[in-house]
Amino acid sequence: MLRQFLFIIIRLIFKILSRVEVVGLENVPRQGPAIIATNHMSLADPPLVFAVVKRKDITALITDTYKHKIPICWLVNGVGGIWINREQADLRALRLALDHLSAGGLLGIAPEGTRSKVGSMIPAKTGVAYLANKAEVAVIPAAVSGSEIAFREMRHFRRPYLKLQFGKPFCLPPIDRKNREEQLQRNTDEIMCRIAAMLPEKYWGVYQDHPRLAELIREGYGYN
């Protein structure tokens, strides 16, 4: 009941205070386990994904630095979010995430691990690639643009334009234990380059010169 109430309220807030364009929502399966991996530039990003994806079993990994901020803590707990300590290998959070996926749930994660404060993509951690490999689930890349200035625009009584684009689900190649770290990084870069390819160039950040991003652009994968 609380979850549905929050869903309605968050959707209403975005509708009133912003202009949201959603592309590729059909790429998010209506049931079954998967990971939504998104770039992260604003506190508005997680609730935007939550408001758009109409699945009752969607949750997300959220950094526990927000655990003592009452409005955010209340919202996260209300939607069954999983708190994670980004500063260490949080085995409890990873286990809960794997349990959620094993039960057929949808899990949202920002691979960068924190909000980018430079308005473009920053290096991602390998946790998403690890979870996808461990749970043997597909990854759905999601790209958010415009959110980095959303609250500033709202403070000036302007409705910011936000775009959320979902790419097609894809499966990462398996990890060879002998080259585990290298292959986790390879898979992480694949996720981030697919996200970047759906964003305007100004957001590419540290992935600007990545050869895989250039390859995806040549293949026509990306920004609409």
Phi/psi of residue 135, nearest 5 degrees: -85, -10
Percentage of residues of the chain with pLDDT beyond 70: 99
Give the mean model confidence (pLDDT) for residues 107-121: 94
Q: Encode pLDDT of 8-48 as tens digits.
A: 899 999 999 999 999 999 999 999 999 999 999 999 999 99
Q: Encode pLDDT of 130-144 as tens digits.
A: 999 999 999 999 999
For residue 208, give the nearest of 221, 189, 181, 224 by alpha carbon: 189
User: What confidence score (pLDDT) does residue 90 get?
Assistant: 82
d(CA 172, CA 177): 15
For the chain, the average pLDDT equals 92
Could you tell me the pTM of the whole model?
0.94
Give the mean model confidence (pLDDT) for residues 85-111: 92
Residue 139 CB partners (closer than 8 Å, separation 6+): 34, 35, 36, 37, 128, 132, 169, 170, 171, 172, 191
Q: Encode pLDDT of 142-184 as tens digits.
A: 999 999 999 999 988 899 999 999 999 999 999 988 889 999 9
Amino acid at 11: R
Distances from the Cα of 38 to the Cαs of 107, 154, 164, in angstroms?
11, 23, 9
Query: Per the structure block, which two tokens stand in for 182?
Result: 């290298």
User: What confidence score (pLDDT) does residue 138 get?
Assistant: 98
User: What confidence score (pLDDT) does residue 78 get?
Assistant: 81
Percentage of residues of the chain with pLDDT beyond 90: 74
For residue 32, give the nearest of 110, 134, 80, 101 by alpha carbon: 101
User: Do 23 and 96 contact (CB within 8 A), yes or no?
Assistant: no
Amino acid at 141: P
Q: Is residue 222 scored above 80 in pLDDT?
A: no
Give the mean model confidence (pLDDT) for residues 90-113: 95
d(CA 49, CA 107): 11
User: What confidence score (pLDDT) does residue 224 get?
Assistant: 64
d(CA 199, CA 86): 25
d(CA 217, CA 211): 10
